[in-house]
Structure 1
C-alpha cells in the first residue's frame, strides 16, 4: 500500500471517529458514511480551459441520513468556507436532517494537505470546489438511498462562490457528467468579484444568494451587479440581502464579532477572464495574483440572529419547494 493510500485511509478513519463522537447527541441522524470522492486539483486557468488532467486527489465527504429504510432521500451537498468545516455547517446539517433531508459535507482541504486558506488564498484555485462538487454528485446520484433528481448544492463564502458558479452551463459542459444536475444552487456570502466568460448562461434551476449589507469580506455590491446583469435572461436567480449583517451572519459560534486581521479579501478587486482561461486584474490588465495591490487584509465575521433566522426560513422554503422532503 502506498504512503498516499495509507494517509487517506488514516484520514477517513479519523473523520469516522470524530464524526461518530460529534453526532452522538444528534438523535435525527440514523446513519453516517464517509465516502471518498476521487477528484483532481486544478488551477483556475486549467479549470477554465476545461482540463481534467490535474493532480489526482481523493477528498473525503461525510454522508448523513435522517432515517433508516430503503426509500430514496433528497440531499444537500455542502461546500465549506476558507476556514474549512466549521460549526455553522453542523448547524445546517442538523436543520436539513430535521426536515428529512440527507446531507453530504465535502472536505476539500484535508486531502490536499491544506488546513485553511484564510490568510493565503493562493493555496488552492478558487474553482477547485466546483470540480469536487461535480465529482460528488456523480457518485452520490448512484447511492441507493439518494434520489438523483433531488440534490441541491449549497456553499459558504469560498464554498458559496463555487455553489454559485457551479450553475454555469459552460462549467457543467466542461466538467460535470452529462446525466447529473443539481436541483438548485444556494450561495451564502459568495465572492462575486470575478467575471467569467459566458457567466450569464446559467442552468434553468433556482439560484439563491444570501448576503449581508455590512459584509466587508465579500461585499454585496459585486453580487448585486451580477444579478442585475442576469435580470433580462429570465433566470430564476435571486439575491436576498440582510441589512446590517456581516460575513458569517449564520454562524452561532460568532455571537462575539471576530476581527481577522490577516485574512485576504478581494473586496476591492475586479477580476475578469480573458482568452485561454486567464484571469486578469480589470484595472491593470495584468494576470491576477494575490500579490496585486487590490488584495487587502483584514475582515470582520459576526453572527446576526435576525438575519440567520430569516435566512433559515428562506432556505427551508427552497428545500420544501424543490426537494419536497
Structure 2
C-alpha cells in the first residue's frame, strides 16, 4: 500500500489524521490541499493511495476493494512512528473514502479485531447505510442536500437509530450543495455518471471550520 506522509515542524508526538480518497483516486484537494491544511493545524497526515498498489485507475464504475483494511494498515504504520501520538488519530474520508471511514468505525465491524483504534472519524459526502448502527468513535458527517450520489436520507435514518449511550454522530447538511463541494478543482462543476460534482465555497468554508473544531475536541489529550 502506498501513502503520502506530511507533518508539522517539531519533535512531536503529534495527533494525526489518516485520509482516504474517493472513487476517482488522488485528486489535488485530497492529496495536496487538505494535507497542507491539516498540517497547519498541527496534525501529522497520511494520505492512503488505495489504487496504486492495486493498479486501479478508479472505482466509480466498479466494485470497491475492501479499503477498511487500508485504513487500519495506515494506522498500524503510524503506530511505529515516534512523531505520532497513536492514541490521538482520526480517520477522514471523501466520497467512497468517507463510506470506508464509516465502515471502519462502526460497532461490531472490523474495528473490534484491530490492535490500534481510531479516536474520531470525519466523512465527507459518504454513502451512509441506515443499518450501520452505532459508531465506535465520535463522528462528523458532512453532506450536501442536492447530492444524489451520496443522498442524505440514509444518514438521517442511521442517526435516528443510534443508541443513547453511543459516541455522538454529528450530521452537517448544507442546502443547495452537490457532491465534492469542498474541492476547488470542481469550481466549474461537472457531471459524472449522471451525478453533479460542484465546489461551493460557502459550504466548503463552513465545513472546514466544523472539521477544525471537531478535531480539536475529539483529539484533545
- TM-score, normalization: structure 2? 0.93
The structure-2 alpha-carbon separation of the partners of 1:84 and 1:194, relative to structure 1 and needing over 3 Å to count, comes to: farther
Is the CA contact (8 Å cut-off) linking 2:184 and 2:199 kept in structure 1?
yes
Give distance in 2, aligned partners of 1:202 and 1:309: 26
Give distance in 1, aligned partners of 2:163 and 2:142: 17
RMSD: 1.7
Q: Could you say which residue in structure 2 is the equivalent of 1:310?
A: 206
Deviation, structure 1 residue 323: 2.5
Matches within 5 A, 1:211-250: 211-230=143-162, 232-250=164-182
Is the CA contact (8 Å cut-off) linking 2:142 and 2:173 kept in structure 1?
yes
Q: How many residues align?
A: 220
Give distance in 2, aligned partners of 1:235 and 1:149: 17
Give distance in 1, aligned partners of 2:95 and 2:165: 25
Which sections of structure 2, spanning at least 5 residues, go unmatched?
A: none
1:81 counterpart SS class: coil
Query: Which of these residues, 154, 176, 185, is aligned with residue 121 of structure 2?
Result: 185
Deviation, structure 1 residue 86: 0.8
Kindly indicate whether residue 45 of structure 2 is the aligned counterpart of residue 103 of structure 1.
Answer: yes
Give distance in 2, aligned partners of 1:250 and 1:151: 22
Q: Could you say which residue in structure 2 is the equivalent of 1:94?
A: 36
Deviation, structure 1 residue 253: 0.9
- TM-score, normalization: structure 1? 0.64
Q: Could you say which residue in structure 2 is the equivalent of 1:144?
A: 82
Q: Could you say which residue in structure 1 is the equivalent of 2:135?
A: 202
Query: Residue deviations 1:132-159, cap 9 Å, x none?
Result: 1112111211211111111000000000
